[in-house]
Amino acid sequence: MDPCGLEYFCEQVQQKDVARRMQVGQELLEYLSDPARCSEVEQDLQRLDKVIDELTAWVNSSNFKVRL
């Protein structure tokens, strides 16, 4: 598994540990800001949808750091 691919993030965004979520959130921001990854993201829309669904749950989190 690519340690910084959509498959990786799909698994990692499901973590409940706040510290891990903070780390994964930063990794995801860096991943998505990399123009070289655009084609990978565009070709795996189903996995991207799953990541977005999990991130939606983060927005509803009771921890303000995770929400941000």
pLDDT tens string 8-60: 998 898 888 888 888 998 999 898 898 888 778 888 889 889 999 988 888 87
Q: What is the pLDDT of residues 3-15, one digit of tens each?
A: 678 889 988 988 8
Structure tokens, 22: 């903070």
Domain boundaries, the chain: 5-10+20-60
DSSP state of 4: T
Give the residue among 15, 2, 8, 17 at the shortest CA–CA distance from 47. 8
Q: State if pTM tops 0.85.
A: no
